A and B are shown apart, each in its own frame.
Chain A
Amino acid sequence: MARIILDTLSKQYPNGVLAVDALDLTIADGEFFALLGPSGCGKTTLLRTVAGLENATGGRLLSDDRDVTHLPPGKRDIAMVFQDYALFPHMDVADNIAYPLRIRGEHRTQRRAKALETGTGLGLENLMDRRPGQLSGGQQQRVALARAMACQPSVFLFDEPLSNLDARLRLEARTFLKKLQKDLGVTTIFVTHDQAEALAMADRMAVMELGKIRQVGTPAEVFHRPANTFVANFIGSAPMNLLAGETADDGLRIGGFTVPFPHDSPRLPPGTPVTLGARPEYVDVVGTSTPGAMAGTVTIVEYLGATALVSVQIGDERVPDGADPVLGLTVQAMVAEGTEPQIGARIGVTHQPNRSLLYAADTGDLVSGTGSGTGSGTGSGIPGSTAATVSTTP
């Protein structure tokens, strides 16, 4: 069990690409921590740097108070489960699980006994003589987990642990992994590109973009208060509506409509360009003449089961013939099954001011509220309004 501290940790590849850019991060002992981000954001490189498979080119990496920055992977007391599980095809399950023990020089009978003990904990006791090729994807994953557990490391690293499983198994494995991690209590860092996985499994998570951490927080914090428009867009099963507009005395001007300020918006000078963030789940479908509503035409209705995602083209006119309805200002609203409007219908949409957020138009940083505890998204983002961002406006 260990606390992991990244101290301005950097990884630059020989070709100049800065995959991990001076990151500071502390992962608490026993925490289940997710690194989330799109392809190429550096999350896997960061994980591999923690593992020791990549050499850090700057900064320090501490495991508890031990500096492990330049230790070889085998000396860090860290175990990793690879995306493809990396089981040795020529060894049976028991030998695979006991492999780290074999490298440590433990006796064969002792190794087999420990492998069986670890494997039994994961329901592998009847598969110990099989080769990896004879196992299902889920079983292979459990063998890989058992191999990581066999030498009782103080940190686990999982690289995309669910991506090689089919959709149904993925949900089971998600629950299983979370329970396993809680039972073992071992500090665990996992990498995923799937925001739903990160939200579901992690105690805390870091959202990464281009080698930088854009936000760190609990899944609830990251979901409800994305620190910037990048995170806002990345988190959530349907991306957050990000509507460009500007401030006025009586509200926000968006697409010719005036809508209410989000509740904890700071007082901004009229005419400040801003972005309103409202999750489709928190957008209501109302009549076109409702006060504070934006009126528009329904262009797409996506059936999602219990809910439906309605895309509304904002504007007074219907979409002119031949124009691409996706272009222009579109608001998405999540409505309950059975209440979805017809395509082409004229409707109004309102955001829920207590659940929507305000971002600076130029930097994309959150300006709603203060002290959200995310530790990221510094800087007001709005020139001449630093004071305003600090004070909270009801």
Chain B
Amino acid sequence: MPRTAVATDAAGLGRARAGGFVAPALVLVGLFLVFPALWTIYLGLTDYRLTGLAAAAPKMVGLQNFRDALADRFFLNSLWLTLIYVAGSAIIGQTVLGFALAWMMQKVRPSVRGVVETVVLLAWLLPGSVVSFLWWAMLNRRDGTLNALLDTPGYNWLIQHPMLSIIVFNTWRGTAFSMMLFSAALQAVPPSQLESARMAGANGAQQFRDVVFPHIRGHVLTNTLLISLWTFNDFSPYLLTAGGPNHKSEILPAFIYNRAIGTGELGYGAAISLIMLVINLIIALLYLTLLRTRKVKT
């Protein structure tokens, strides 16, 4: 049977029918991803508010929201706190702790390893709200677990050390991913190369530098990219500190929520969201460029 539209794809579907298969997914993506994104861009250019006159008839204000943001010390403070949060909990906390765990787990008995991995993974699998509640119970001023352990009744960790609290919280919660990824990476290091280094007299640090790290370099970059982005966009610290006290732990997602929902400045919140998106893109591009130059070199 000759067909006028020759299907050039492997399955022989032709464009129209292939498009039919993809259409439901495209509609969903469009409805829940593309449209809100475009809507956010639009909102960022208005003075749209949750209540009042501007809620009924928002006016276009152009780039005013962005100009306001760059002059807003609360925004700049929030940006700075976010950097600390990402550096502390993602890059230092999760990467270093995750690698240390993966490294130690190589040498222990499989039974111990299974228990540790399950426990660590559990922290990762629990919903953010549950983990937040667990840490709230841990750090609570009255009858909190940590105060009971340290015998410091009445000490309010979330007030005294809000940034440290959310950094530890996120490290605890997210380390499993780095650990799993590094475990897999370490297993791919050929034992004979490590032994070859040992035969040459290399100590542990030299073995790591000359054999292990070159093998897992790509994994380190990928892992850092993923957890940086996740941490950058992470909202769950809000459940612990709500950005407080006095904006001391108001990382960007908390800042946006407080401005957009808390004080009702939807237009301003949308503009900040857009800035966040751009920062995300820059981080991703940076890592991808790094990864690509590594690949070219090897």
Contact = CB atoms under 8 A, between A and B. Distances in A.
A78 B196 CA distance: 11
A80 B201 CA distance: 12
Give the secondary structure class of B's interface. Answer: helix
Contacts of B197: 99, 103
Contacts of A88: 193, 196, 210-211, 214
Contacts of B190: 84, 86
Nearest to A101: B200
A75 interface: yes
A89 interface: yes
B91 to A, nearest CB: 23
B194 to A, nearest CB: 8
Interface residues of A, number: 26
Nearest to A76: B199
B195 to A, nearest CB: 5
Contact of A86 (B196, B214, B298): B196
B200 A74 contact: yes
A170 to B, nearest CB: 20
Nearest to A150: B200
Instruction: Name which of B190, B201, B298 has the most chain A CB atoms within 10 A of its CB.
Output: B201
Given A53-B198, A73-B198, A73-B199, A99 B210 contact: yes
B199 A80 contact: yes
A242 interface: no
Given A82-B192, A84-B192, A103-B206, A74 B214 contact: no
Nearest to A131: B298
Interface string B194-236: 0111111110001000110010000000000000000000000
A52 B195 CA distance: 10
A251 interface: no
Contacts of A34: none
Contacts of B192: 82-86
A147 B200 CA distance: 9
Interface string A82-121: 1111111110000000011001100000000000000000
A79 interface: yes
A51 interface: yes
Contacts of B200: 74, 99-100, 103, 151
Contact of B195 (A86, A89, A99, A104): A86
Contact of B214 (A90, A103, A147): A90
A53 B298 CA distance: 29
A9 B198 CA distance: 22
B181 to A, nearest CB: 20
A89 B189 CA distance: 11
Interface in B56-93: none
Contacts of A52: 198-199
A74 B206 CA distance: 13
A80 B202 contact: no
A89 B199 contact: no
Given A84-B192, A86-B195, A88-B214, A103 B298 contact: no
B198 A89 contact: no
B274 to A, nearest CB: 41
Contacts of A100: 199-201
Nearest to B297: A90
Contacts of B199: 51-53, 73-74, 78-80, 100
Interface string B166-199: 0000000000000000000000001011011111
A104 B198 CA distance: 12
A99 B197 CA distance: 8
Interface in A35-80: 51-53, 72-75, 78-80
Contacts of A51: 195, 199
Given A83-B192, A84-B190, A75 B201 contact: yes
Nearest to A85: B192
A104 B201 CA distance: 8
Contacts of B193: 86-88
Given A80-B196, A84-B192, A99-B210, A89 B298 contact: yes
B110 to A, nearest CB: 12
Interface of B: 190, 192-193, 195-202, 206, 210-211, 214, 298
Given A82-B192, A87-B193, 6 more contacts: A82-B196, A88-B193, A89-B214, A99-B196, A99-B210, A103-B202
27 contacts: A52-B199, A53-B198, A72-B201, A73-B199, A74-B198, A74-B200, A74-B201, A74-B202, A78-B199, A79-B199, A80-B195, A82-B192, A83-B192, A86-B190, A86-B192, A88-B193, A88-B210, A88-B211, A89-B298, A90-B298, A99-B197, A99-B200, A99-B210, A103-B200, A103-B202, A104-B201, A131-B298
